């Protein structure tokens, strides 16, 4: 009897707490989205009236649009390269024995622990020292560094669970190593690869700390552009561009969800 009362109390507490948590999680986004449709000229909540004027302003802005393209290019390059490099690192960690393996594992995961400001400062000094000045490649290098841990962790977890007998069975059926990789290993790791690609993309796309250090003056990323813009003016174009970013991110996540959902394996 007592247990059932306690259960009911817990259930009740849960049903009160849950909407609150949802609210806290979504409120910032909701406020930004709602504000973006304002007809007024200041970034205030609640908005005054309804218009799309700030979307027109954002989409024709010569600050936001180049920065958005820069961010998209950067996130795509980072995603592809981080997954490729991270996959290789995961394979080595899973299948090879060598001296200093533990150190190597710690190093691949260390960008998660080291404060990003420190990484940014270190990279900035290093790049200045060797004379590396090209903005996009500097950003790509930095972003790969901070997204690799996500890839290594996700893919390693999947590799541990991968049945090595499957690869041996394929080899027994006359498949050469390259064929085993393409037909067996990679398809079975696909969910982990897609998941880590999404992580890498989103992390890169939303990163601001590292981009502030590594971006070169007027060739910078969207988060940095928004941040800089905010220091000068406080108009609803910020909300509009932010809403576009939110829509993009949600769109990608939904697309990936469907893709991974479809090829879900055992």
Partner 1 sequence: MTEKKAECVVELKGLRKVYGASIAVDNVTLEAKRGEFLCLLGPSGCGKTTTLRMVAGFIEPTSGSIRIEGSEVSNLPPYRRDTGMVFQNYALFPHMTIAQNVAFGLENVGMDRGQRTKRVAEMLDMVELGHLAARYPRELSGGQQQRVALARALALRPAVLLLDEPFSNLDAQLRVRLRQEMRRVLERMNITTLFVTHDQEEALMLSDRIAVLNKGCIEQVGTPEDIYERPASSFVAQFIGSCNVYTGDVRDGVFRSAGGLALPASGVAPGSHTLMIRPEHLEPVSGEYEGPSFPAIVESVDYFGSISRMTVRVGSDAVLVDVRSTGGRSSRAVAKAGEAIKVGIRPGGLRLL
Q: Which is nearer to partner 1, 52 or 166 (CB)?
A: 166
CB of 258 to partner 1, least distance (A): 18
Task: Give residues with Cβ within 8 angstroms of 161, minimum separation 6.
Answer: none
Q: In this structure, what are the phi and psi dihedrals at residue 190, rounded to the nearest 5 degrees?
A: -50, -45
Q: Which is nearer to partner 1, 1 or 265 (CB)?
A: 265
CB of 99 to partner 1, least distance (A): 17
CB of 181 to partner 1, least distance (A): 13
- Is the link from the previous residue into 56 a cis peptide, with omega within 30 of 0? no
**Are the C-beta atoms of residues 236 and 43 closer than 8 Å to each other?**
yes
Q: Which of 204, 65, 68 is nearest to 139 (CA)?
A: 204
Distance CA 59, CA 41 (A): 17
C-alpha atoms less than 13 angstroms from C-alpha of 115 in its C-beta half-sphere:
3
- Give the footprint of partner 1 on residues 180-199 (CB under 8 A): 183-184, 187-188
- Give the footprint of partner 1 on residues 225-264 (CB under 8 A): 263
Distance CA 118, CA 150 (A): 19
Distance CA 126, CA 146 (A): 16
Question: How many chain residues touch partner 1 (CB under 8 A)?
Answer: 20
Q: Which is nearer to partner 1, 190 or 246 (CB)?
A: 190
- Give the footprint of partner 1 on residues 9-48 (CB under 8 A): none
Q: Which is nearer to partner 1, 62 or 97 (CB)?
A: 97
- Give the footprint of partner 1 on residues 158-177 (CB under 8 A): 163, 165-166, 168-176
CB of 204 to partner 1, least distance (A): 29
Cα distance between the two ends of the chain: 41
CB of 201 to partner 1, least distance (A): 24
Residue owning tokens 């973006």: 36
Distance CA 99, CA 112 (A): 23
- Give the footprint of partner 1 on residues 133-152 (CB under 8 A): none
Distance of alpha carbon 71 from the chain centroid: 12
- Give the footprint of partner 1 on residues 68-97 (CB under 8 A): none
CB of 33 to partner 1, least distance (A): 39
Binding site for partner 1 (CB under 8 A): 163, 165-166, 168-176, 179, 183-184, 187-188, 263, 265-266
């Amino acid at each position: 009897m007592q247990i059932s009362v306690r259960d009911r109390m817990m259930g009740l507490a849960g049903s009160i707490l849950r909407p609150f948590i949802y609210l806290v999680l979504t409120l910032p986004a909701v406020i930004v989205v709602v504000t973006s449709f304002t007809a007024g000229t200041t970034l205030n909540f609640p908005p005054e009236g309804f218009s799309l004027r700030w979307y027109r302003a954002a989409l024709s802005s010569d600050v936001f649009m180049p920065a958005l393209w820069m961010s998209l290019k950067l996130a795509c390059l980072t995603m592809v390269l981080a997954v490729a490099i991270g996959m290789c690192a995961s394979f080595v960690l899973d299948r090879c024995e060598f001296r200093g393996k533990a150190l190597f594992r710690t190093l691949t995961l260390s960008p998660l622990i080291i404060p990003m400001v420190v990484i940014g400062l270190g990279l900035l000094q290093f790049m200045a020292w060797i004379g590396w000045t090209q903005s996009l490649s500097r950003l790509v290098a930095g972003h790969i560094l901070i997204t690799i841990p996500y890839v290594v962790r996700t893919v390693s977890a999947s590799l541990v669970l991968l049945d090595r007998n499957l690869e041996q069975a394929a080899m027994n059926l006359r498949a050469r190593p390259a064929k085993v990789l393409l037909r067996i290993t990679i398809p079975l790791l696909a969910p982990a690869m897609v998941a880590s690609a999404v992580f890498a993309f989103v992390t890169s796309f939303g990163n601001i700390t590292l981009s502030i250090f590594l971006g070169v003056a007027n060739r910078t990323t969207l988060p940095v552009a928004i941040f800089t813009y905010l220091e000068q003016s406080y108009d609803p174009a910020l909300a509009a561009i932010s809403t576009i970013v939110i829509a993009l991110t949600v769109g990608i996540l939904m697309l990936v969800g469907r893709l991974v959902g479809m090829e879900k394996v055992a």
